[in-house]
Amino acid sequence: MTVDKSLIDLKILETEPAEEYHAKADSYLSSHQLIDFIRCPYLYAKRRAGLVERKETPAYFIGNATHCRILEGFDVLKSRFALGGPINPSTGKPYGSTTKKFAEWRAKQGKPVLSYDQLDLIENMAEGVSLCEAANELLQYGRAEGVVRAEYCGVPCQIRIDWAHPHFGIVDLKTTADLDWFENEARRHHYHNQLAFYQAVLRQVVGDFVPVYLIGVEKIEPFRCGVWRVSDDTLSIARGDNESAITRLVAARESDTWTTGYETPRLLEIA
């Protein structure tokens, strides 16, 4: 890949624990909140009011640990997670994660636990990324989990960038079941809206739109890894959608009116 001029001064990125970042959600709009609103304003409002809890799924937990391992390194992973589990002295093998012995060990750790099976999965994904030359180039230098806050469309916003490279720009890491369907998954999960939001908020600080890259790695064999540069047209269209949504969000807050998006009948046409 061609190295662009210096685009991001890494010193502008704040270092902040994830818990502290998420605790400021009441004061700052994030990409996940905006995507919640785009999908369903009513659900967004219920989550903001604490009426609907965003539950951490096993896939989300593994995804967070994978980000930590790949972007921040194994030493950081060890500091944030308890790894492995107790060994059965009779067999010399680990107790299963559903056993009483494992549960007792987990209760004593004082931090999230990754079993040997989960750790093997994460290490396989890390190896998959390491075997991708394009991904290595993006992750060779930069900052992980950097936080930026700025006013965007008149609203205080915050972003937490997976990886910021001073010359390549924004890099976001995603796990997937099948790399062949990754582009469809990106559309379904609104990755383009998320990354356009990152790009636009960062622009308020650096003064220009920086390139945006996605790294996708499979969480099953053969743990393939691929890199996509998100096109300028895609980001421009998503930015327009985001800005329109922010305008609607501000209006909804002022009127305290929260719709589902399905208030009127729709036409179903099946060819």
Q: Is the pLDDT of residue 182 over 70?
A: yes
> For the domain that residue 33 is a member of, what is the CATH number?
3.90.320.10
**Would you say 213 and 195 are in contact if contact means Cβ atoms under 8 Å apart?**
no
What distances in angstroms separate CA 69 from CA 77, 79, 132, 168, one per listed residue?
6, 11, 16, 21
Distance of alpha carbon 112 from alpha carbon 46, whole angstroms? 28
Instruction: Kindly state the average pLDDT of the residues 245-255.
Output: 97
Instruction: Yes or no: say if 188 and 39 are a contact pair by the CB < 8 Å rule.
Output: no
If we measure between CA atoms, which residue out of 155, 228, 168 comes closest to residue 197? 155
Asked if residue 76 is part of any domain, the answer here is no
96 lies in a domain?
A: no
Residue 177's domain comprises: 10-53+116-255
Q: Is residue 192 part of a domain?
A: yes
Using CB atoms within 10 A of its CB, is residue 26 exposed (0-12), middle (13-18) or buried (19+)? exposed
What is the count of structural domains for the chain? 1
Residue 109: inside a domain, yes or no? no
- In the chain, count of helices (H) and strands (E)? 11, 7
Instruction: Kindly tell me the burial class for residue 240, based on how many C-beta atoms sit within 10 Å of its own C-beta (0-12, 13-18, 19 or more).
Output: exposed
38 is a domain residue: yes
Q: Is the pLDDT of residue 118 over 70?
A: yes
Q: Is residue 267 part of a domain?
A: no
**Is pLDDT above 80 for 246?**
yes
Omega before 222 within 30 of 0, i.e. cis:
yes
Residue with tokens 């997937």: 176
Q: What is the pLDDT of residue 4?
A: 61
pLDDT in tens, 46-99: 999 989 888 888 889 999 999 999 999 999 999 999 999 999 988 988 988 889
| 6: confidence class by pLDDT, cuts 50, 70, 90 | confident
In a domain, 81, yes or no: no
Predicted local distance difference test score (pLDDT) of residue 58: 87
Q: How many residues does the chain have?
A: 271
* Averaged confidence pLDDT in the chain: 95
Q: Is residue 3 pLDDT above 70, yes or no?
A: no
Q: Let me know if residue 58 belongs to a domain.
A: no
pLDDT, tens only, 215-224? 999 999 999 9
What gap in Å lies between CA 229 and CA 232, rounded to an integer? 9
pLDDT digits (tens, 9 = 90+) for 136-163: 999 999 999 999 999 999 999 999 999 9
Cβ within 8 Å of residue 210, ≥6 positions away: 7, 8, 169, 170, 199, 202, 203
Does residue 236 have a pLDDT over 90? yes
